[in-house]
Copies of this chain bind each other. A is one copy, B any other.
Amino acid sequence: MERFFDPQSVVVVGASNTPFNLGSTICNMLKDYLHYDGNVYAVNSKGETVNGYPGYSSIPDLPQTPDLAVIIVAARHVPGIIRDCARKGIRHVVIESAGFSEGGEIGEAMQREIDAIARQNGIRMLGPNCLGTLSSRNKFCCFYGVNPSLVEMNQIFESPGSISYIIQSGGVVVLTLESLYYDLVGVNKVVSIGNKCDVDEADLIEYFQKDETEVIGIYLENIADGRKLMEAARKSRKPVLVYKVGKTKEGAQAAMSHTAGMANNDRIFDAACRQAGIIRLQSIDELHSLPKIFTEMPLLKGKRIAAFTNSGAFGGISADLLVQAGLQMVRLSPQTQEKLKKVGQVFNIKNPVDIGPAPPQTYLDIFEILLSAEEVDGLLPLLSVWQPFVIDCLLELMKICKRYEKPAAIYTPNAISKSVAIRARHRLPIFETTEQAVRALSVSQTYFASLLKRNLTGDRPLWGAGLNTDHRSTGEALS
């Protein structure tokens, strides 16, 4: 599987100098942007050189057997090309072309032909109808048509991270990577699986067990082999987050027109996810917004939450949300309440703890009292950044959370653009709404419970992350 993400040599079949040629965009990215140091070849009808990469008119003519073939030509040419790949000894192929199982009977017949050749020759295939792979650490990417000069793309390769994505749609890849730029956790690998005629999400979950991945994010339009997926997820020692289209009959039909899957029964899928410890996402946005609760914070080991706000209204709002999410507003012990009373300036010493204008030490004292309290499993700080010192207090909170191995899901009741800027500049795991923060706590607790059920808590710290992967040392993501 490694060769899909870290090939030492690549052939781009279909790259040419014709205007608007998509294959050439892959050559351009490898050469001009990624400065990829393996051999790259172009195959096109004229055998012409593409952006300095030597061109050949057919695969058998190549001077070596490349680790990976990336195919981006009209569907009708693909079966012949796969046959050529087999003859040349190529064992890893990405088919980016569309027009197979999602393209009617002719497409389906071609798919069967390709499958047979691949099976006979031990070829592993990604796609068809996909964008291919990206590996931030290996500085490799075979996505077509992407503008690599986008600042978001820069960020991916400059600050490798710990989320790996398996995504069955190019559009969702682009949106998620773009959104992640404004969020906290970096990308490790991305793979767009398209119609997944061979390599599927289960193979990739298994593969991501062994690399720098800390969280696996998945977007699916259909499931071909449910048993295989659930088995891979059940064994996963890393959180598996899945958004699946097709909750309704209408959604399933629409997804079929896109990547040719079978409609799956959503309720069965839901029950299977719970069994396998899969976290089912409620929106596309959660693909980028939720992982930080795993990578930046300890897991939530119980359901008892203390809310702490400097903006009274959010206490009530969060109490509603916590209870609706299946968590509990903890009843603070008399001792804890006594300690809070001594801090002074606390309007409400019962949960939600509510303060007015107060100096930094008040914030720090309350963090310490709540997180050290035996009855508290996790914290929901809803703290408006009305003075810059609140940011310093939140940075300190990160350390207190680590000390007590309890998580805090931070929300700053400020306009979204402000909160996003604070998150990026100070590398604080700030969620974008109260709803999202509560959801993160709920997901953390559900995941912890599933680790227990699956007997997977023994040999790794009960802590979402190693907290030492390189993307965290990069400081500011945004200016």
The CA of A88 and the CA of B350, in the complex, are separated in Å by: 42
Q: What mask results when residues 308 to 332 of chain A are scored 1 for a CB within 8 Å of chain B, else 0?
A: 0001111111111111100001000
Q: Which of B178, B249, B284, B354 contacts A257 (CB 8 A)?
A: B354
> Taking A258-B313, A283-B433, A324-B247 as contacts, is the C-beta distance between A319 and B253 under 8 angstroms?
yes
Residues of chain B lying within 8 A (CB to CB) of residue A414 = 175, 178
Considering only CB atoms, which chain B residue lies closest to A415 in the complex? B178
Q: Which of B247, B257, B323, B420 contacts A320 (CB 8 A)?
A: B247
Residues of chain B lying within 8 A (CB to CB) of residue A347 = 257
Binds B, one of A166-174, A199-207, A267-275, A441-449: A166-174
Residues of chain B lying within 8 A (CB to CB) of residue A93 = none
> Taking A182-B415, A420-B417 as contacts, is the C-beta distance between A354 and B316 under 8 angstroms?
no
Contacting pair A316 B254 (CB below 8 A):
yes
**Does A246 touch B at the CB level, under 8 Å?**
yes
> Taking A175-B415, A178-B415, A250-B329 as contacts, is the C-beta distance between A316 and B258 under 8 angstroms?
yes
Give A442 Cβ to nearest chain B Cβ, in Å: 15
Residues of chain B lying within 8 A (CB to CB) of residue A284 = 317, 433-434
Task: Determine chain A's interface SS by DSSP, over half rule.
Answer: helix
Residues of chain B lying within 8 A (CB to CB) of residue A413 = 171, 174-175
Give A332 Cβ to nearest chain B Cβ, in Å: 13
The CA of A329 and the CA of B251, in the complex, are separated in Å by: 9
**Does A416 touch B at the CB level, under 8 Å?**
yes
Q: What mask results when residues 267 to 305 of chain A are scored 1 for a CB within 8 Å of chain B, else 0?
A: 000000000000000011100000000000000000000
Q: What mask results when residues 326 to 368 of chain A are scored 1 for a CB within 8 Å of chain B, else 0?
A: 0001000000000000000001101110100000000000000
Give A421 Cβ to nearest chain B Cβ, in Å: 9
**Does A221 touch B at the CB level, under 8 Å?**
yes
Residues of chain B lying within 8 A (CB to CB) of residue A175 = 311, 384, 413-415
Residues of chain B lying within 8 A (CB to CB) of residue A352 = 254, 257
The CA of A313 and the CA of B258, in the complex, are separated in Å by: 7
Give A4 Cβ to nearest chain B Cβ, in Å: 22
Interface residues of A in 369-398 (CB under 8 A from B): 384
Considering only CB atoms, which chain B residue lies closest to A323 in the complex? B248
> Taking A250-B323, A322-B250, A347-B257 as contacts, is the C-beta distance between A313 and B179 under 8 angstroms?
no
Interface residues of A in 215-233 (CB under 8 A from B): 219, 221
Contacting pair B258 A416 (CB below 8 A):
no
Contacting pair A251 B316 (CB below 8 A):
yes
Residues of chain B lying within 8 A (CB to CB) of residue A315 = 254-255, 257-258
Give A439 Cβ to nearest chain B Cβ, in Å: 12
Give A476 Cβ to nearest chain B Cβ, in Å: 16
Give A466 Cβ to nearest chain B Cβ, in Å: 27
Residues of chain B lying within 8 A (CB to CB) of residue A179 = 415-416
List 7 tightest A-B contacts by C-beta distance, closest first: A171-B311, A251-B320, A255-B316, A169-B313, A245-B316, A178-B415, A251-B319
Question: Can you pick out 13 interface pairs between chain A and chain B where the beta carbons lie within 8 Å of each other?
Answer: A170-B312, A171-B311, A171-B313, A171-B413, A172-B313, A175-B311, A219-B313, A245-B316, A245-B317, A248-B319, A251-B323, A255-B315, A284-B434
